[in-house]
Amino acid sequence: MYSQNRKAKNTISLLLTYAFLILFGIFMIYPLLWVVSAAFKSNDEIFKSLSLIPQKIVTNAFIKGWYGTGQYTFGRFFINNFILVVPVVFFTITSSTLVAYGFARFNFPLKKLFFVILISTLMLPDSVNLIPRYILFNAFGWVDSYKPFIIPSMFASTPFFVFMMIQFMRGLPREIEEAAIIDGCNSFQILLRVTGPLCKTAMISMGIFQFIWTWNDFLGPLIYINSVEKYTIALGLRMCVDSAAAIAWNQIMAMTVIAMLPCIIIFFAAQKYFVEGIATSGIKG
């Protein structure tokens, strides 16, 4: 009798847990589904109903939206996004790994002080550096180019990634590197042939984070990019809202759906490494 009551309680508890998770999942994914459905609705229907099923399916929003409102199509904005994002991701992974390797494996003067400064910058809001950074980059003549994004990424400018890599490398056994030293490898060869491959999951996680953040960044391009021909997708979407008297929301939603695809594809393609990298960094930290 006791075991039956306990089994019934466990079953009810399990059902309630699943019900809560399903409702929470629907609540979280509804905005994304609404954007997708709005791309197939007429402009008048979008804000009149919360239903995800269009009363009349519109299929030309993707074609019309692709041509945009000016002389540049969203194809140009997509190319600009890749021109901006790919070097930033590559240099971020390279520079952050190098700096983290130095902190994790070498002793040098003022190492603790530099590490404290690194950690303190994690707490610093981006908005604090916004104006000084713009003044500096403007003095360098980098405004209206992608240099304010690409060149800082060459110097490990995101402390979160450096800290994440330090934590990961500290968890790696030193015996492997000592064996490589005995085999005649120098520090750079150890990083390239031993430590780097072992950090593959953490580096992929870093790349996914940086790709999504840079791809979706709106404020940075808004501040540093002036020419329409260099606009990213975020600025292209904003331009569609500004330049049209009657806003074609279904076309904007259609372009938003297309803009989300690279991030979704990359996340799911590398999900295994992403989860493994984050979990391992946390455990070994």
Q: What percentage of the chain has pLDDT greater than the value 70?
A: 93
What does the block give as tokens for 266? 């990359």
End-to-end alpha carbon distance in the chain: 47
The pLDDT, as a whole number, for residue 212 is 92
What does the block give as tokens for 16? 């309630």
For the residues 31-41, what does the mean pLDDT come to? 89
The pLDDT mean for the chain works out to 87
Residues in the chain: 285
pLDDT in tens, 150-163: 999 999 888 899 99
For the residues 8-15, what does the mean pLDDT come to? 87
| Alpha carbon distance 253, 54 (integer Å) | 14
For the residues 202-208, what does the mean pLDDT come to? 90
Residue 106 φ/ψ, nearest 5 degrees: -125, 150
pLDDT in tens, 116-163: 998 888 888 878 888 999 999 999 999 999 999 999 999 988 889 999
| Alpha carbon distance 206, 185 (integer Å) | 27
The model's confidence at residue 280, banded by pLDDT at 50, 70 and 90, is low
Distances (CA, A) of 180 to 42, 108, 170: 64, 22, 17
pLDDT top residue among 217 and 240: 217
Superfamily of domain 71-243: MetI-like (1.10.3720.10)
For the residues 245-266, what does the mean pLDDT come to? 87
Which residue has tokens 């197939």? Answer: 40
The model's confidence at residue 285, banded by pLDDT at 50, 70 and 90, is very low
Sign of CA pseudo-dihedral 187, 121, 149, 165: positive
Question: Of 101-110, 129-138, 228-237, 241-250, which gets the smallest average pLDDT?
Answer: 241-250
H helices of the chain, where?
Answer: 2-38, 61-67, 74-105, 111-122, 126-140, 147-153, 159-170, 174-182, 187-190, 196-198, 200-215, 219-224, 233-243, 249-269, 271-284
Question: Of 22-36, 65-79, 225-239, which gets the smallest average pLDDT?
Answer: 65-79
| Alpha carbon distance 255, 236 (integer Å) | 10
Which residue has tokens 């492997």? Answer: 176
CA dihedral 233, 60, 243, 149 (to 10 degrees): 0
Ranges of each domain in the chain = 1-62, 71-243
For the residues 73-94, what does the mean pLDDT come to? 93
For the residues 50-74, what does the mean pLDDT come to? 83
pLDDT top residue among 95 and 55: 95
